[in-house]
Amino acid sequence: MKSYINRILNNCSEVSLNYLKKDEVSFQLKQRIEMKIHVHFCKCCQNFIHQSDIIDNQLKLYKESLLEDKKVKASDELKDKLEKIISE
């Protein structure tokens, strides 16, 4: 029992890797519970998760801003030409 608890509490690298894979892989209930227990007691992993979430959110915002910048708007001159063509 003691070795099981030590394994849960001393596996930061496994927890951090699994947290990064959480969107791509579905974990068994036992793994999810072990991760939650570990994170509950481990300040380092709590910080890692918090920082990872911040980075993910900033990357999403950056990606959205790049997509908005690439939107091309037609000039008024082009709009007028198109309206003339359509109305003919």
User: pTM score > 0.75 for this model?
Assistant: no
- pLDDT at site 81: 80
What is the residue extent of each domain of the chain? 2-87
User: pLDDT tens digits for 29-74?
Assistant: 988 998 999 999 899 999 999 999 999 999 998 888 877 766 666 6
Question: What residues contact residue 25 under an 8 Å CB cut-off, 6+ apart?
Answer: 18
Please, what is the Cα angle at 19 between 17 and 21, to 5 degrees? 70
- pLDDT at site 43: 94
